[in-house]
Amino acid sequence: MKILTGLLLTGTALATPVFADVAADSRLNTVLDRGTLMCSGHNGSFLGFAEVDDKGNWKGVDIDLCRALAAGLFGTSEGHLEIVPVSWAQRWPALQSGDIDVVIKVSGWTQSRDTELNLSFSRPYFIGAFQAMSPASLGAESIADLDGGSMCAAAGTSTERALATYLESNGIQAEVLTFENGDELRNAYFEGRCDGYVEWAPSLAAARVDAPDGAEAHTILPDVIDLEAEGIIVPETDPDWLDVQNWMISSLWFAEANGITSENVDEIKANPTSSAIEKFLGVTPGYGERLGLSDDWAYNMIKEVGNFAEIYDRNIGAGSPYNLPRGVNALYSDGGVFFPMIID
Amino acid sequence: MQELVPHTTAIRPSPFSSLRARYFSTPLNGAVTLVCATVALWLLWSAFDWAVLHAVFGTGQREACLAAEGACWSVVSSRWRIVLFGLYPFEEQWRSGLACLVMGAVIALSCAPWFWNARRLPLLWVTGFATFYLLMRGGFFGLPVVTEQNWGGLSLTLFIFAAVCILGMPLAICFALLRRSKLPWIARTMALVIDTIRSLPLLSIMFTFAIVLPFVLPGWLTGDKLYRVIVGYALFFACYQAEIIRGGIQALPAGQEEAAMALGLGYWHRVGYIVLPQAFKNALPPTINQVVITFKETSLVTIIGFFDVMASGRAASGTAEWNFAVIEIYVFVALIFFVFVFSLSRYGAYLERRLDVGRR
């Protein structure tokens, strides 16, 4: 035991110089040396997660996470962040070849991606449910009520597979119509070609808002067909870079849990209420240094993009046209599944 | 007594009788004409009704659009900058617009016969292309640098198209000449290369150049993704165009080249003054065809994450406010393509008339 403690102490002593514990070939060092973070964007848009505003600026949950990461690394994302448009098919090769440093692109954590593609996933930052929407006039209250009807889904996606499994295992007989293109799928549903429209919940919410016959004419059924956990993705051989991603997400939740927002972060930094918050905001050293970052990285991040609730509300929640409830994506204290890790 | 001269004009059919003779000669023909005319009129009327009568114009009329039955042109007037300029920084978009105009002017000028000259044409294109590149990229006279990552919209489409043509055309001539080489191993190798590239889909070539090459090439050779894709696309273009030129060369009577040889002209003179000008004349219709296809297929670059005019069209409608107005944006993008492709093919028709391809 003594030997072990001794070893640990020597280890700590060796690790004391800043950045010393980050592997030399880590993407973290590459990014810090380059002075810009290259984050994944879209070739087009993905509603609520990556959109382009009237002036050609990116916005959305994924984009805000990119900004948070850049702000944490460099103090501000201004001038230090490049959103590189990549297509779905291109995101993994682009990450491996170094065209982008990190994939934040609503990408689900699947076994084949995790193992065969040599990718590392951070803790999920969003849980996407596959749900069904149905015309209110049908009076359906669950997917089981659509037995004998027809369902529309996107062809060749995980949604289609999950729907087939769900129908089979619940003994529901429904005809599944598939469509290649998301717009085509949505129009088919609104033209009345199917009784149920199966999609990722945020997309359903977006479609419902714009329903030609009004949002009230459509109900999103509560049954969850399947869940997809969206994480931040880095190459598998880079634990230091993965640590930064995990602690970034945890910091956003920590700030939310402790009521630290972009508005009051300065006040709280001036009068921290606990030693954990003191450490978190960089008043006392350690929180950044262990990751190879500056100690006030979390402060810079919160100052620029706010905590997780602010990011959510601004882009897909109550403060946005989508008005998607937090649901399972809330903190554990509000009935969700997310919680910050311990800051010691 | 004066002899009666037959009145010739009476034989000429009146517009009405020609209409009757052409479209209503039998009851069946009359019925077919009526049905087709009704359908055509109805289609035109519905399109007009949708696009004009019930349409919503003006910026930011989202609410009015949702209530209206017709087209929502408001999405175009609110988001046209994204379609044209993509992610180019808002304050600098005049540069992108100016660069597009320069490129358009270069294309228009090179259509004028005065520029068809081995010295003027390359000079025009090199100057035009350099101006375009410098304007887009910036970094001088206090213009901020805008990297290729942020280029987008119409200017990116034009850039890719122009670069592919500039690189591809000389390459195509080289390929065609190499393929006709008298040394069998050169001719066969070239034939193999051309046929291999032609038997691969353009998409897979672009994907290989954009994504696979960085793993294979040493770092200093990799270059920006955009240029890798342009090189790949130019190679693809050159292989098709080489076969078109070869077709044009083979259509020449053998006597042309033999006569040139008999006059003592060297290889380059023969090729430059006798063979190629006539070959290009022969190959003009398929060449215009190839150029048009090249312009349209630039939209494939969306797959590898470029923000060309199609992708930026999707980004323009892909936002909470305008997600319902997809069709209008597609119509707008289609119009842009139509303007370019239609002018290209009309220009091709003019060239054919001018060079009298049909008669020779």
**Is residue A339 assigned to a domain?**
no
Task: Name residue, tokens 């003779």.
Answer: B21
| Residues A96 and A235 occupy one common structural domain | yes
Q: ∠ at Cα A229 (A126, A195), nearest 5°?
A: 90
Of B85, B207, B311, the CB nearest to A56: B85
Question: Any idea how long chain A is?
Answer: 344
Distance from CA of B155 to the nearest CA of A (A): 14
Shortest Cα–Cα distance, B183 to chain A (Å)? 41
Query: A212, exposed or middle or buried, with CB in 10 Å at 0-12, 13-18, 19+?
Result: exposed
| Positions in chain B short of pLDDT 70 | 1-13, 118, 357-360
- Chain B residue numbers touching A206 (CB-CB < 8 A): 320, 323
* Alpha helical stretches, state H, chain B: 15-23, 27-48, 62-67, 74-85, 93-109, 120-137, 153-179, 184-198, 202-207, 213-216, 219-222, 225-250, 254-262, 267-269, 276-282, 284-297, 309-317, 326-355
The answer to whether position A343 is within a domain reads no
CB contact under 8 A, B305 and A57: no
DSSP per-residue string spanning A123-176: S-SEEEEEEEEEEGGGT--SGGGGTTSEEEEETTSHHHHHHHHHHHHTT---EE
> Is residue A118 domain-shared with residue A167, that is, in the same domain?
no
Q: Do A42 and B147 touch (CB under 8 A)?
A: no
| Nearest Cβ partner for B304 among A90, A206, A210 | A90
A236 and A324 share one domain: yes
Q: Are both A119 and A241 inside the same structural domain? A: yes
Which of A 292-331 lie inside 8 A of B, CB atoms? Answer: 320-322
Q: Which residues are CB-contacts of B358 (< 8 A; sequence separation ≥ 6)?
A: B352
The pLDDT value given to residue B217? 78
CB-CB contact of B75 with B55 (8 Å): no
Measure Cα distances from A199 to A73, A153, A163, A213, B263 in Å.
Answer: 35, 7, 10, 19, 75
**A191 lies within 8 A of chain B by CB:** no
Residue A139 and residue B195: Cα distance in Å, rounded? 60
Q: Which of B87, B210, B321 sits opposite A321 (nearest CB)?
A: B321
Same domain membership, residue A136 and residue A119: no
Establish if A86 touches chain B: CB-CB under 8 angstroms. yes
Q: Tell which of A227, A258, A285 closes a domain.
A: A227
- Same domain flag for A217 and A233: no
Q: Are A281 and A274 in contact (CB under 8 A)?
A: no
Nearest to B304 by CA among B163, B205, B223, B219: B205
Q: Nearest residue on chain A to B62, judged by CA atoms?
A: A210
Q: pLDDT tens, position by position, for chain A (344 residues)?
A: 444 444 444 444 444 444 447 788 889 999 999 999 999 988 878 888 999 888 888 999 999 999 999 999 999 998 899 898 888 878 888 898 888 999 999 888 888 888 888 899 999 999 988 999 999 998 888 888 888 899 999 887 778 888 999 999 999 898 999 987 777 888 889 988 999 999 988 888 888 887 888 888 899 888 889 888 999 999 998 999 999 999 999 999 999 999 999 999 999 999 998 999 999 999 998 899 999 999 999 999 999 999 999 999 999 888 888 888 888 899 999 988 999 999 88
Q: How many domains does chain A have?
A: 2
Contacts of A43 in chain B (CB under 8 A): 302-303, 305-307, 311, 314
In a domain, A194, yes or no: yes
CB contacts, 8 Å: A52 with chain B: 82, 87, 312, 315-316, 318-319
Shared domain for A193 and A45, answered yes or no, is no
- The whole-number pLDDT of residue B173 equals 92
Name which of A85, A206, A320 is nearest B307 (Cβ-Cβ).
A85
CB contact (8 A) between residue A56 and residue B214: no
Q: Residue A235's beta-bridge partner residues?
A: A119
Residues A120 and A244 grouped into a single domain: yes
Confidence (pLDDT) at B2: 57
Token readout for A23 is 């592997």
Kindly list the residues of chain B whose beta carbon comes within 8 Å of any beta carbon in chain A. 66, 78-79, 81-82, 85-90, 93, 147, 149, 152, 207, 210-212, 214-215, 225, 302-307, 311-312, 314-316, 318-321, 323-324, 326
Structure tokens at A137: 């006039």
Name the residue among A45, A47, A99 with its Cβ closest to that of B225. A99
Alpha carbon B185 to chain centroid distance?
35
Domain end, chosen from A177, A212, A227, is at A227
Q: Is residue A43 part of a domain?
A: yes
What distance in Å separates residue B214's CA from the closest CA in chain A?
Answer: 6
The confidence score (pLDDT) of residue B240 equals 95
Residue with token string 């006798």: B274
Q: Domains of chain B (ranges plus CATH)?
A: 80-355 (1.10.3720.10)
Q: Which of residues 267-296 of A touch B (CB under 8 A)?
A: none
Interface contact flag, B211 A93, Cβ < 8 Å? yes
Co-location of A84 and A110 in the same domain: yes
Token match 């122009």: residue? B162
**Smallest Cα distance from A157 to chain B, Å:** 17
Q: Does A55 touch chain B (CB under 8 A)?
A: yes
Domain-located, residue A62: yes
| Torsion sign over Cα B232, B236, B237, B241 | positive
How far is residue A262's CA from residue A256's CA, in Å, rounded to a whole number?
10
b/e per residue B198-212 (b: at least 16 CB within 10 A): eeeebeebbbebbbe
Residue found by looking up tokens 């919680």 in the block: A339
CB atoms B318 and A51 under 8 Å: yes
| Whole-number Å distance between alpha carbons of B211 and B208 | 5
In this complex, the residue of A44, A82, A87 whose CB is nearest that of residue B315 is: A44
Residue B10, phi then psi, degrees to nearest 5: -65, -25
Considering A227, A259, A281, which residue would you say is the last residue of a domain?
Answer: A227
Q: What is the CATH number of the domain that holds A33?
A: 3.40.190.10
Probe site for chain A from B88, B308, B319 (most A CB atoms < 10 A): B319
- Provide the domain limits for residue A117: 19-126+229-334
Task: Give the gap in angstroms from C-alpha B127 to the nearest C-alpha of chain A.
Answer: 29
Residue A3 domain flag: no
* Pick from A204, A192, A311: nearest CA to A261: A311
Best mutation target among A38, A43, A316 (most B Cβ atoms within 10 Å) is A43
Answer yes or no: do A118 and A132 share one domain.
no
Give pLDDT, residue A253.
95
A8 in a domain, yes or no? no
- A54 in reach of chain B (CB within 8 A): yes
Task: Note the pLDDT of residue A263.
Answer: 92
Q: β-strands A150-154, A196-200: how paired?
A: parallel
Q: Which residues of A touch B90 (CB under 8 A)?
A: 55-57
Nearest to B86 among A47, A56, A87 (CB): A56
Shared domain check, A44 and A23: yes
Q: Which of A73, A48, A80 is nearest to A63 (CA)?
A: A48
Whether A143 and A73 map to the same domain: the answer is: no
Q: How far is B179 from chain A (nearest CA, A)?
A: 36
Whether residue A7 lies inside any domain: the answer is no
Interface touch A85/B210, C-beta < 8 Å: no
- pLDDT score for A7: 44
